[in-house]
């Protein structure tokens, strides 16, 4: 589903973010990427989203090279990928409902679909009663659940979660991971980056470990080892 072929990224100041990275992610996998800050996790994710170009190598989404696409095609790919971030990245002036509706509008879905799907997906993350609240009226865990609802509402093929639990307490962390597992069980590929040892160890899924821009370990049922 996603295939990195000898990808390197060297920034303008000659710092090496990634060096000859190759791996592939199969449909319906739950892959965790671990590594210290600055190891290259975020660069890796930005390349999957075609936000950054590799200095060398290619990144494939299914069989297309994502860095060889036109603007519109990149947008089409992004709509098939749901993203979740540590800082939630909700639109502050929109309610929970509107935040999710925005993603559907951007994908060109009809008003009827939006009316039907948004309450449904909010129920899924257990926030049906906070539909009309603004982000600043919600707790961190609630905001992250809104972000997840937004990520899944267009039924993406992949969910990319970049340190989604970094700002959350253990109970909220546990709940978020449970939701991600549920999404994965329903057939969506999940790519998770995290620093949280407990999360990785309890998941018992594939773990890729990055250090200094290289993949130093890739285990099928991995543990957090750094």
Taking residues 148 to 167 in sequence order and writing x for each that binds other proteins by CB under 8 A, - otherwise, the string is --x-----------------
Which residue carries 């049922």 as its tokens? 221
Asked if 44 and 51 count as a contact pair (C-beta separation under 8 A), the reply is no
Alpha-carbon distance of 226 to 197, in angstroms, equals 10
- Starting at the earlier edge strand, list the strands of the sheet with 64-65: 16-25, 2-10, 56-61, 64-65
Neighbours of 77 (CB within 10 A): 18
Contacts for 198-204: CB closer than 8 Å, 24+ residues apart? 198/170, 198/173, 199/32, 199/165, 199/173, 200/32, 200/34, 200/224, 202/177, 203/30, 203/32, 203/177
Could you tell me the smallest distance in angstroms from the CB atom of residue 149 to other proteins? 12
- Is 71 a residue that touches other proteins (CB under 8 A)? yes
Given 31, 96, 103, 179, the residue binding other proteins (CB under 8 A): 103
By CB under 8 A, tell whether 67 contacts other proteins: no
Does 90 contact other proteins by CB under 8 A? yes
Could you say which DSSP state residue 6 is in?
Answer: E
CB of 78 to other proteins, least distance (A): 4
From 16, 89, 113, 167, residue interacting with other proteins (rule: CB under 8 A)? 89
Residue whose entry in the numeric block shows the structure tokens 């036109």:
70
In the range 13-52, which residues lie near other proteins by CB under 8 A?
49-51
Which of 75, 216, 225, 226 is close enough to bind other proteins by CB under 8 A? Answer: 75
Cβ 154 to other proteins shortest distance, Å: 8
The binding site for other proteins (CB under 8 A) comprises 49-51, 71-72, 74-76, 78-79, 83, 89-94, 98, 102-103, 105-108, 110-111, 150
């Amino acid at each position: 589903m996603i295939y990195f072929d000898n990808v390197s990224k060297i920034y303008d100041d000659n710092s090496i973010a990634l060096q000859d990275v190759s791996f592939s992610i199969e449909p319906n996998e739950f892959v965790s990427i671990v590594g210290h800050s600055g190891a290259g996790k975020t660069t890796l994710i930005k390349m999957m989203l075609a936000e950054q170009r590799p200095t060398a190598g290619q990144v494939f989404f299914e069989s297309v090279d994502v860095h060889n696409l036109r603007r519109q095609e990149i947008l089409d790919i992004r709509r098939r990928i749901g993203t979740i971030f540590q800082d939630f990245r909700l639109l502050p002036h929109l309610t929970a409902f509107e935040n999710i509706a925005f993603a559907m509008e951007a994908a060109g879905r009809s008003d009827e679909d939006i009316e039907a799907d948004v309450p449904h997906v909010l129920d899924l993350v257990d926030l049906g009663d906070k539909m009309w609240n603004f982000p600043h009226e919600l707790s961190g865990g609630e905001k992250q659940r809104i972000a997840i609802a937004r990520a899944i509402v267009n039924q993406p093929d992949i969910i990319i979660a970049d340190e989604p639990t970094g700002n959350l307490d253990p109970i909220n962390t546990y709940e978020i991971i449970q939701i991600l597992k549920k999404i994965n069980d329903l057939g969506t590929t999940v790519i998770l980056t995290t620093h949280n040892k407990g999360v990785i160890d309890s998941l018992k899924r594939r773990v890729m470990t990055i250090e200094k821009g290289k993949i130093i370990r890739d285990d099928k049922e991995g543990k957090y080892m750094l």
